[in-house]
Structure 1
Amino acid sequence: HRVRGLLVGAALLIVVNTIRLAVYVREDEIEILALVGAEPFDFEPGTALIYNNSGFFLLGLIIEKVSGQSYSDYLEQNVFPKAAMDDSSYCSNSVVLKNRAHGYQASQRGLQRAPYLNHLWPYAAGSLCSTVGDLIAWNRALHGGEVLPEEAYRLLVTPEPLEDGTTLRYAKGITQHVGPGGPMIGHGGGINGFLSESRYYTEEDAIVVVLVNTTGPANPAGIANAIGRHLFGDAADPVAGSYPGDLADLVGEFTGAARGRTMTARVAVDGEGRLTVATQARGGAQPVEFLEGTTFFRGTTRYTFDMEGNAPTRLRLDHVGGHYVLEARE
């Protein structure tokens, strides 16, 4: 259960602390655990979900402790061979690899080479180098029962509810939800100069993998969406309805922990009588549509108000990869 907690977002550390952890990783694991233990929780475990790299960092240390091997050696001997991932490895800045792609980032002067990255820093949270072919092979092996026993596989891909029964769409480091193209299991990723998107379409038994060697302006999730729609059509969007209550009751400001920051959401009713939500991540106010109960949606994001009488006490923001609980401000 403790390992599960790392994966489902016990919020042990904010993301930036991954860099701090890397300073200690080869010196003294006890110092790392002490550093983690000294940090306060962003929320009580089981009450929200915030993706954090630090959880994966700690899982890498657990693998090393249990196996008696380095994380990279364990992957080379126990993971890559099972999926026939012959072109995958723990990333290195010194090893010469044939046809290796360089990473870029967008700037006002166009694309530039991405800054140097010491791969001790991302560690188990993102220092794997691979190819589209190998990631297709990985998906085939994982979802085909060649990597995990059935019970472990179901535990991996099945989201568990929060302690209050709230359903999630994020499982153990992987999402399971309905998106462009239909029901899917997958995840995206990003690191200096590179972005990725990997999806397994469960009803079609099909895999879409997009790797981009730039952090902008190309968007692998958008590319994967277009491929999914082209191949399998667009999953039916939720049917928008009419909110039976007074939208004015929902107006207010809500704040709480999000990934690496405190998030503030401002809820208002615009001149056209639509409910809108504005957050730092989304920019200006965006209209949302009524789904059911006190839940509204925009795309795949869900906004649910917890109510006491006619007054909202908190706003739950579920964007598939996270479930933030924002408290109403007076």
Structure 2
Amino acid sequence: MDKQKIGNRLTKLQQELRFSGAFYAHHNEKVVAESYGYANRSEKIKNELATRFSIASGSKIFTSVAICQLVEKDKIAFDTKVKDFLEIDFPYLDQNVTIDHLLTHTSGVPDYFDEDTMDDYEVLWESLPMYRVRSARDFLPLFQYKRMENKRGNFFKYNNTGYIILGLIIEQVSGIDYSEYIEQNIFQKVGMANSGYFSMDALPEQVALGYIENTNGQVKTNIFSLPAKGGPDGGAYVTVKDIVTFWKALLAGEVVSKKMTEIMLKPRVIVDDDILYGYGGYFEMNEKSVVKYIQMGYDPGVNYRLVHYPDLDLTIAVCSNNSDSAYEMLKEMERMMLK
């Protein structure tokens, strides 16, 4: 791995894309990492490797890990039926929807933000002000009394509501707030010292503001575009090093047991051709095995990608505080590091 060559090429690509963010690649104990752009444009505060970025739906894996931890403790099971367990009224929920269905996006529950039909996340907050959304329960008005969207178990359809319900289950079982559970039982456990769930109106130091560029070229922050605080379906803040640390710990069996890690990282549902989904997210497969694990997150002003190649001991994470360009940076890193 020629660090200088990779660094030169990525700097050139960053300039072409106007990428703002950071990346961190870990390959056979070697590291390539860099940051670009501004965490705060108006104050000219630069992004650094220690900058904390929102990773949007990339946070769903923390919800999955929490569920797996509770399964290991015999508090719940993957075949637990939501109706028989959760002490919240969902009058139209299919009686046979299980935790497994929620984890694999096959539950058919109504998605509060259907990414196939909706392209403007900000529309949600016209009926429910974003500043009121600070916990899993705060999302309930968006879906609690809606009818099932699809038949349970019929097919994979990406679903944010399912992970909100999983978060509610975590809270009921653990007796503490979802974000507290994740911070105590995952972040602190694996040494993700700089990661957490932060309120948009009370951000700590070294956090990147998310920026949205309109079609007319004007730029604004995303403070009025997202829930005030992230939750079970997305919105954690991490550094690029912290998220790679998490993956290293997960694969080493330090987050859940190695047996449970295998269960978590087992492909379960076909998404498209060689792409499958399991409790741990997306997988690219060949005829014999997993080629790479794939994580992604998109929100207004947020763009995140991570891949892990199990046979190559290669993990690449890219975080951006713009709405795009993380994927292009990641693909170039893959091309250069897989030569």
TM-score range, shorter chain: 0.5 to 0.7
Partners of 1:28 and 1:191 in 2: CA distance: 18
Aligned-partner SS, 1:56: helix
Q: Please give the TM-score of this superposition, normalised by the length of structure 1.
A: 0.60
Partners of 2:304 and 2:263 in 1: CA distance: 24
**Pairing partner for 2:264 from 152, 156, 159:** 156
Contact 1:82 1:141 in 2 (8 A): no
Q: Establish whether residue 16 from structure 1 lines up as the match of residue 113 from structure 2.
A: yes
Contact 1:176 1:183 in 2 (8 A): yes
Residue 174 of structure 1 and its aligned partner are, at CA, apart by 0.5
Residue 59 (structure 1) aligns with: 166
Structure 1 residue runs without a partner (length 5+): 234-330
Contact 1:189 1:197 in 2 (8 A): yes
Residue 68 (structure 2) aligns with: none
Q: What pairs with 1:252-267 in structure 2 (closer than 5 Å)?
A: none
Query: Which has the higher relative contact order, 1 or 2, with Cα contacts under 8 A spaced 6 or more apart?
Result: 2
Q: Establish whether residue 183 from structure 1 lines up as the match of residue 291 from structure 2.
A: yes
Residue 58 of structure 1 and its aligned partner are, at CA, apart by 1.0
Q: Establish whether residue 223 from structure 1 lines up as the match of residue 320 from structure 2.
A: no
**Which is strand-richer, 1 or 2?**
1
- Alignment: residue pair count: 225
Residue 193 (structure 1) aligns with: 301
Residue 152 of structure 1 and its aligned partner are, at CA, apart by 1.8
Q: Which digits, 9 at most, give the CA deviation of each residue in 1:146-200, with x for residues without a partner?
A: 11112321222212247xxx99611125111149xx9111210022311100111
**Which is helix-richer, 1 or 2?**
2
Partners of 2:236 and 2:138 in 1: CA distance: 25
Q: Which digits, 9 at most, give the CA deviation of each residue in 1:114-141, with x for residues without a partner?
A: 3324535752111211110111111111
Residue 35 of structure 1 and its aligned partner are, at CA, apart by 4.8
Q: Establish whether residue 5 from structure 1 lines up as the match of residue 113 from structure 2.
A: no
Structure 2 residue runs without a partner (length 5+): 1-78, 80-97, 115-123
RMSD: 3.2
Partners of 1:58 and 1:93 in 2: CA distance: 22
Aligned-partner SS, 2:276: coil
**Pairing partner for 1:68 from 166, 175, 199:** 175
Instruction: Rate the CA distance shift 1:111–1:151 in 2: closer, same or farther, 3 A.
Output: farther
Instruction: Rate the CA distance shift 1:85–1:111 in 2: closer, same or farther, 3 A.
Output: farther
Q: Establish whether residue 204 from structure 1 lines up as the match of residue 301 from structure 2.
A: no
Residue 277 (structure 1) aligns with: none
Instruction: Rate the CA distance shift 1:223–1:111 in 2: closer, same or farther, 3 A.
Output: farther
Residue 259 (structure 1) aligns with: none
Please tell me the residue identity of whatever aligns with 2:307.
R
Q: Please give the TM-score of this superposition, normalised by the length of structure 2.
A: 0.58
Partners of 1:210 and 1:28 in 2: CA distance: 27
Q: What pairs with 1:1-330 in structure 2 (closer than 5 Å)?
A: 1=79, 2-9=98-105, 10-16=107-113, 32=140, 35-36=143-144, 38-110=145-217, 112-117=219-224, 119-120=227-228, 122-161=230-269, 169-178=276-285, 183-216=291-324, 219-233=325-339
Residue 54 (structure 2) aligns with: none
Q: Which digits, 9 at most, give the CA deviation of each residue in 1:232-275, with x for residues without a partner?
A: 13xxxxxxxxxxxxxxxxxxxxxxxxxxxxxxxxxxxxxxxxxx
Please tell me the residue identity of whatever aligns with 1:13.
P
Partners of 1:80 and 1:127 in 2: CA distance: 14
Contact 1:188 1:196 in 2 (8 A): yes
Query: Sequence identity of aligned pairs in percent?
Result: 24
Residue 41 of structure 1 and its aligned partner are, at CA, apart by 2.9
Residue 84 of structure 1 and its aligned partner are, at CA, apart by 0.5
The structure with the largest alpha-carbon Rg is: 1
Partners of 2:135 and 2:330 in 1: CA distance: 41
Contact 1:102 1:113 in 2 (8 A): no
Aligned-partner SS, 1:209: strand
